């Protein structure tokens, strides 16, 4: 709530919007605007992944062994990966081998997905080393 108050004061300074007299409708409008900005920020963040144990299906990254984990990119609908214990860390750390990367694409994933994004891999599926911060 403190953050929201700060945002409201900033907004007040920028636009001259009232801080004192506010109808309920206006208040909701401000809140919606704020939530909108927050959700955009959230999508840009390096999101944590949710991991659940599975006991069905093959690993989508190596195709060789049973999957152990279902990894979901939080806030990214439908971007879920069935992977084994070996492939889970490189997927989360964006350090997949070319083979793992290509297997994932063949298993229906795409480079528009957050964890496989072209910012992190070159055209051949080589993991790019992040440079600096
Ligand atoms: Zn695997």
Is the torsion defined by CA of 103, 109, 112, 117 positive or negative? negative
Q: In Å, how far are 11, 47, 48, 70, 72 from 42, measured between CA atoms?
A: 20, 8, 11, 22, 15
> At CB < 8 A and 24+ separation, what contacts does 49-58 make?
49/73, 49/74, 49/92, 49/115, 50/74, 51/88, 54/82, 57/82, 58/82
Rounded Cα gap, residues 7 and 30, in angstroms = 10
Q: What is the pTM of this model?
A: 0.59
- Statement: residue 132 has pLDDT above 60: no
CA of 46 to the centre of ligand 1 (A): 23
Ion ligand 1 — residues with CB under 5 Å?
A: 59, 61-62, 84, 87
Instruction: Output phi, psi for 83, to 5 deg.
Output: -135, 160
Q: In Å, how far are 82, 121, 129, 130 from 133, measured between CA atoms?
A: 30, 17, 11, 8
CA of 36 to the centre of ligand 1 (A): 37
Tell me the per-residue pLDDT of 66-120, one tens digit each, with 9 for 90 and over: 999 999 887 777 789 999 999 999 998 889 999 999 999 999 999 888 888 877 8
Tell me the per-residue pLDDT of 12-22, one tens digit each, with 9 for 90 and over: 888 887 777 77
CA of 95 to the centre of ligand 1 (A): 13
């Amino acid at each position: 709530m403190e953050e929201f108050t700060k945002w409201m004061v900033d907004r007040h300074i920028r636009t001259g919007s009232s801080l004192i007299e506010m109808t309920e409708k206006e208040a909701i409008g401000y809140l919606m605007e704020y939530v909108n900005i927050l959700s955009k920020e959230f999508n840009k963040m390096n999101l944590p992944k949710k991991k659940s144990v599975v006991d069905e299906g093959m690993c989508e990254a190596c195709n060789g062994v049973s999957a152990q984990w279902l990894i979901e990119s939080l806030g990214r609908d439908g971007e879920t990966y069935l992977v084994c214990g070996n492939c889970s860390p490189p997927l989360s750390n964006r350090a997949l081998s070319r083979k793992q990367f290509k297997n994932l694409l063949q298993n229906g994933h795409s480079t528009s997905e957050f964890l496989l994004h072209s910012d992190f891999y070159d055209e051949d599926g080589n993991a790019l080393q992040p440079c600096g911060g």
